[in-house]
Structure 1
Amino acid sequence: MKFIIIRRKWLLVGLAIVALGLSGWYYLIPLTAETAKMENSVQNFEINMVTGEYKTTTKDGKELEAYRWDPGTIFIPQDKQVNLKIFGVNGSEHPFHIEGTDIKGVVRKGKETVIPLMFKKEGTYRLICETHIHSGSGGPMIAYLVVD
């Protein structure tokens, strides 16, 4: 009986030592500091987006389709250089403009369009596909660029 109590005692002591060792290791490794250093060293960063299409047929045979930017909302830091990379997946092409700017372009199926962005002013800017402006054309195809 005494042997079993001593074994349990040493087992508990051993487990406590392992737990202390693991927790000490966790706090001594500066993982968050390295992440912060990496983020600060990057001058530009990229945001990836794709074009998407949803299709369905109603019970009465009517075909419905909608085109979207995905993701539909992105967050961009103010006064930072950002490359918005849009890959065309659905739809042959999507001519677009960013409301409140002079930025215009076209996203083509199977190709990537890179849009360099730097916003000086906070706010929400709309990325609008000029082909899919209203519901009758599979739209509206609008993404929101939130500058903060």
Structure 2
Amino acid sequence: MFKQTLWVAILGAAFAAAYGTAAAQSAAKKSAGLSPNCTASAPVRDYLVTVGEWDTVPKDREGKAVAYNDRGFARTANSKLERYNFDPSVIIVKRGDCVNLRIHDLKGSHHNVTIEATEIGSESAALIDDAGKVTGKAVARANPNAFEGPEKLKAGEFVRGEQVMFRFQANRPGTYRMICEVHTFVGPKGELRGYDDKGKPVQGPMVAYITVLP
């Protein structure tokens, strides 16, 4: 009985180690798909993405404003519905490209950007003006827009009117999700959704996609 238990324990440990190694290798492989450092010979591509929360009033087929349900909350007619989005929501690059990604917050108190399973995102990214001049970094700081509240910004967050810019090299073909974590609820299995485990409505995901072609 003791030997059988020992063998089960050994096999279990071996399986766990193998699974952990495979998971780590998979994560490392995906992370290497986009590198924060560009080689000197890589062709440089510049992209601009705007972020915001666009208001709309739901209407029926006749164009009349109607009441609606927003994540479990009843809204009366003429109530504005916010839609969180990146524009454009899909960026297409080629393998080997060095991408300069500029993101401009046109609307919404604050946002951040992270590309899932990679080291790429707005944390400590350069804050720039319209001419591309660096004015600071997206680090933890006080909100410069006092009218939006006194809460302190977390690392990587930028506010309405600000732009961040970061770069990466596309090393491996595939599709990578770019998200704003301010507007995202992550479920227990890593899924993005609009309700928590108790059915309470929360903010839905704000997602864009970066597709790397061969």
Do both proteins adopt the same fold according to a TM-score greater than 0.5, normalized to the shorter chain?
A: yes
State the Cα distance separating 1:63 from its structure 2 match: 3.9
Q: Secondary structure, in 3 states, of the residue corresponding to 1:104?
A: coil
**Counterpart residue number, 2:210:** 145
CA shift at 1:140, angstroms?
1.9
Write the deviation string for residues 45-75 of structure 1: whole angstroms up to 9, x where unpaired: 2011101322234523254211100000010
- Report the TM-score when normalising by structure 1: 0.64
How far residue 79 of structure 1 moved from its aligned partner, in angstroms, is: 1.3
After superposition, where does 1:18-33 map in structure 2 within 5 Å?
none
Aligned to 1:91: 108
RMSD: 2.1
Task: State the partner residue of 2:175.
Answer: 124
Structure 1 residue runs of 4 or more that deviate by more than 3 Å after TM superposition:
none
CA distance in 2, matches of 1:73, 1:107: 21
Q: How many residues align?
A: 107
Structure 2 residue identity aligned to 1:55: D
**Measured at CA, do residues 108 and 77 of structure 1 come closer, stay the same or move farther in structure 2, by a change above 3 Å?**
farther
Amino acid at match of 1:113: V
From the two aligned structures, give the one with the greater helix fraction: 1
Distance of 2:115 and 2:106 partners within structure 1: 20
CA distances 1:7-33 after superposition (whole Å, capped 9, x unpaired): xxxxxxxxxxxxxxxxxxxxxxxxxxx
Contact 2:49 2:88 in 1 (8 A): yes
1:86–1:107: 8 Å Cα contact kept in structure 2?
A: no
How does the TM-score come out when normalised to structure 2? 0.45
User: Following the alignment from structure 1 to structure 2, what is the Cα–Cα distance between the partners of residues 78 and 107?
Assistant: 29
Following the alignment from structure 2 to structure 1, what is the Cα–Cα distance between the partners of residues 112 and 163?
A: 13
The match for 1:77 is 94
Partner of 2:71: none
Query: Percent same amino acid among aligned pairs?
Result: 33
Unaligned runs of 5+ in 1: 1-41
- Residue deviations 1:78-118 (CA, integer Å, cap 9, x gap): 11111011111011211221012012323421111112011
Question: Distance in 1 between the 2:43 and 2:97 partners?
Answer: 8
Contact map agreement 2:99 2:170 (CA 8 A) in 1: no
**Aligned pair 1:45/2:110, yes or no?**
no
2-structure distance, mates of 1:131, 1:112 = 16
Deviation of 1:43 (Å) = 3.6
Deviations 1:100-145 (A, max 9, x none): 20123234211111120112111000101101124442x4210000
Contact 1:55 1:65 in 2 (8 A): yes
Flag the structure with larger Rg. Answer: 1
